[in-house]
Amino acid sequence: MGWRRVTNDGVRNVRIPSVTVRRLPVYLRALSQLRQRGVEIVSSAELSRYTGYSSEQIRKDLAYFGAFGTRGVGYSAELLVQRIRCILGLDQPIAAAIVGAGHLGTALARYNIARDRDIRVTAIFDDDPAKIGLSIDGVRVYSAGEMQDVIRSRQIKLAIVAVPEGAAQRVVDELVAAGVRAVLNFAPVNLSVPDDVYVQDIDLSLELQSLAYYVAGAANSGRGGRHG
């Protein structure tokens, strides 16, 4: 499925499976926990325990970007964090926008702002006049009409779409026109975007419905539940 050439950090020139990219933040979190406990050198076996991924897989994922471990010893936790943050582009702050200040959009704003230091939500957009001008945890809600200007002037490249399904495609078209490159989409629709824009869908209804399958088939040989 998804691939991407590594040119970013110049280590190699191979294509990276998208599944690997999706695991990198998991490693980052495990490393941060380990470092808080004073760990400085970490093995792939230790990371495996923290993440649930196999040690071989972890080594293979990391090796895509170069050899930054020491044989017989392990990885420097600090170096590894630096490298992964660099690979993901988290070494410089990223501005994001949320479109839709309903229940979900508001919850996401508060949630994100509390958690993420690297990715900051700096603007929220909504078309409800009653909400425009409000501040959600210090971030201002702008009108839909201001969206393109604000996105462009702040060079926001990452957007979270939490609008009703009927509005989503129009919103995404505007976002893309204003320069957004990656979208986290909560609207239950199949958005169409240019090839060079990346959309990650999170569809809560679909997730719940597929879980129903596993509820019903209780007697079966299902996999234990890690990282579905």
User: Looking at 59-67, 98-106, 123-131, 140-148, which segment touches its own copies (CB under 8 A)?
Assistant: 98-106
- CA distance linking residue 70 with residue 68, whole number of Å: 7
User: Looking at 19-27, 39-47, 61-69, 124-132, which segment touches its own copies (CB under 8 A)?
Assistant: 19-27
Nearest approach in angstroms of CB 144 to its own copies is 21
The only residue of 36, 72, 138, 226 in contact with its own copies, by rule CB under 8 A: 226
109 and 98 Cβ atoms separated by less than 8 Å:
yes
Which of the residues 19 through 48 are near DNA (CB under 7 A)?
A: 19-20, 42-45
Which of the residues 193 through 212 are near its own copies (CB under 8 A)?
A: 193-202, 204-212
108 near its own copies, judged by CB under 8 A: yes
Closer CB to DNA, 57 or 122, in the complex: 57
136 and 120 Cβ atoms separated by less than 8 Å:
no
Q: DSSP string covering 69-134, please?
A: EETTTEEEHHHHHHHHHHHHTTTS-EEEEEE--SHHHHHHHHHHHHH-SSEEEEEEEES-TTTTT-
120 near DNA, judged by CB under 7 A: no
What is the contact mask toward its own copies in residues 145 to 174, using x (rule: CB under 8 A)? ------------xx-x--------------
CA-closest candidate to residue 158, choices 137, 169, 172: 172
All residues at 6 or more sequence positions from 19 whose CB lies less than 8 Å from its CB, including other chains: 1
What residues line the site for DNA (CB under 7 A)? Answer: 1-3, 17-20, 42-45, 53-57, 59-60, 62-63, 67-75
